[in-house]
Amino acid sequence: MKKLFHVSLAAMLAVILILPAYASPSVFEDVPSGYWAEADIRYVAERKLFTGVSATRFNPSGRLSWAMLSTVLYRCAGSPEVSGPSPYPDVPEGQWYTAGITWAYENRIFPLRTLNSPQLDVNAEVCRAEFCIMLYNCAGALGQPLPGSGAPVADHSFADMDWTQFSIAGCAALFEEAETAMLRWAMPLGIMEGVSDTAMEPLEGLSRAQAAAMLCRFDRAAGSGESPEESNPPELSEPEAPADPVPVQPDPGPAESEPIPSTPPAKPIPQLTPAQLIWQNPELPNGCEATSLSILLSCTGTPADKIDVLDNYLPKQPITWIHGVRCGPDPQAAYAGDATLKGGGWYCFEAPVIQAGDAWLWAKGQPYQMKNLTGLSQEELEQYLSQQVPLVVWATLQCQTPHLSSYPWTLPDGTKYYPYINLHCFVLTGFISGKYYAADPIYGWQALSPDTFWAAFDAMGRRAVTLSPLPDSGTTQ
């Protein structure tokens, strides 16, 4: 498994914003006594979380760009090797910021609208909301949701934290992530504050002083706020399961299929080959279901193409606007939206995946059928995985707490459906030495803590499917 981070949370925030780095004194000439962020700047400087632009100047009003912040967080992560090419045509290979931007893209540190953008203006300013989202994604990538995550700020009075305001500014695609990161995470933890009682200024540029304040509060919230001379953060232990997941909404029940077996197969299906990783990007920005199904189907020994599975087998229905009302399908009936469009696709549950898998298996003459395991117990799941029987499962991105969008679509029966904004589908391939192993179409090969996985898997309804021999196929289980 390629680990996202090899350093502690405090080390992750060891931010160096300029080259070369300068020593950080306790007081900067341009940070006067009584300045609103004086204590925060002193804190991050003394802990070398943030340096000055010179030995005596901090430049608190200076602005931060995508190139700078991507490189900062990449270096804080230990500068891991990046496997892919530059993700944006306007980010040339070999530049000082290329590796950082590629890493941030591959590990989904960027906001979704940045991930889905056809290009990246590396010198463009990062706004307050975008930086908060990046910190939130970093915390999630570490697998350590902080206390208070998921608790929304009730009855807030911030007029600019409104979808209409984001839409007017051309930033509607940013709103849902900003609402989650700022109001459900940063505000409850004290990492971010409003600039007044009625304004957050989420779309304003981020100053170095504001970034220093947020980094200081993030570090304190992480529990590493000891004095600099005593600071020697330990290595991260195994991430714990998120506490108190938010309640998930009721949704249509699992597809009708054969009952869940009381005992898993006595041995693996002989003809299945080991799972091979298939990446969903860049062709399918939102196609984790089609890609995960392709990984499973390829275990038959006949390679499955994710585009073929999506185009020719997976049931799909668009998200449309009818008389000003957003309308979409039941995820148990069809994939919602267009997975090939950046920002244009949502997800589906197990019923459409079973339908697509059975159609593909029949078309390819394979002696298998899809098996619905939704609702299985942890013991049953682990027995399957111990025998290397692959399972397509539904959880969340990086097994974070599930979050619902604030903006529903209307189902064909007239009810409102509030979709998940961080649902994710991937393939579990084994259970070895107390770890689940997964082929993840976004993050690659992963080793997961069972507790962390089950917190998300259980919250999403324990949805899982696998392959089973046809009754007359001659294979045994």
d(CA 290, CA 292): 6
Q: Are 267 and 320 contacting, i.e. CB atoms less than 8 angstroms apart?
A: no
Model pLDDT, residue 411 = 94
Where do the H-state alpha helices sit in 66-154?
Answer: 66-76, 98-106, 112-115, 128-141
Q: What are phi and psi of 331, to 5 degrees?
A: -60, -15
Which tokens go with 147? 């206390």
Which tokens go with 102? 């590629």
Model pLDDT, residue 154 = 57
Tens digits of residue pLDDT in 318-346? 999 888 888 999 999 999 999 988 778 89
d(CA 334, CA 253): 14
d(CA 170, CA 226): 42
> For 229, which DSSP code?
G
Predicted TM-score (pTM) above 0.75: no
Which tokens go with 381? 């799941």
Q: What are phi and psi of 129, to 5 degrees?
A: -65, -45
Model pLDDT, residue 314 = 95
Tens digits of residue pLDDT in 229-258? 333 322 222 223 233 333 333 333 333 333
Distances (CA, A) of 36 to 41, 48, 197, 213, 245: 10, 20, 16, 9, 35
Radius of gyration (C-alpha) of the chain in whole angstroms: 24
- In three-state secondary structure terms, 336 is strand
Q: How far is CA 221 from the centre of its chain?
A: 21
d(CA 377, CA 466): 15
Q: What are phi and psi of 23, to 5 degrees?
A: -60, 145
Q: What are phi and psi of 52, to 5 degrees?
A: -85, 170
In which residue ranges of the chain is pLDDT below 70? 1-27, 48-49, 76, 78, 141-155, 221-271, 472-477
Model pLDDT, residue 144 = 57
Residue with tokens 């244009």: 344
Which tokens go with 432? 């070895």
Q: Are 410 and 328 contacting, i.e. CB atoms less than 8 angstroms apart?
A: yes
451 CB neighbour count, 10 Å cutoff = 13
79 CB neighbour count, 10 Å cutoff = 13
- In three-state secondary structure terms, 426 is strand
Q: Which amino acid is at 25?
A: P
Q: Is the four-CA dihedral 15, 21, 27, 32 of positive or negative sign?
A: negative
> For 97, which DSSP code?
T
Distances (CA, A) of 373 to 96, 239, 315, 386, 409: 48, 27, 20, 16, 28
- In three-state secondary structure terms, 138 is helix
Q: Are 76 and 14 contacting, i.e. CB atoms less than 8 angstroms apart?
A: yes
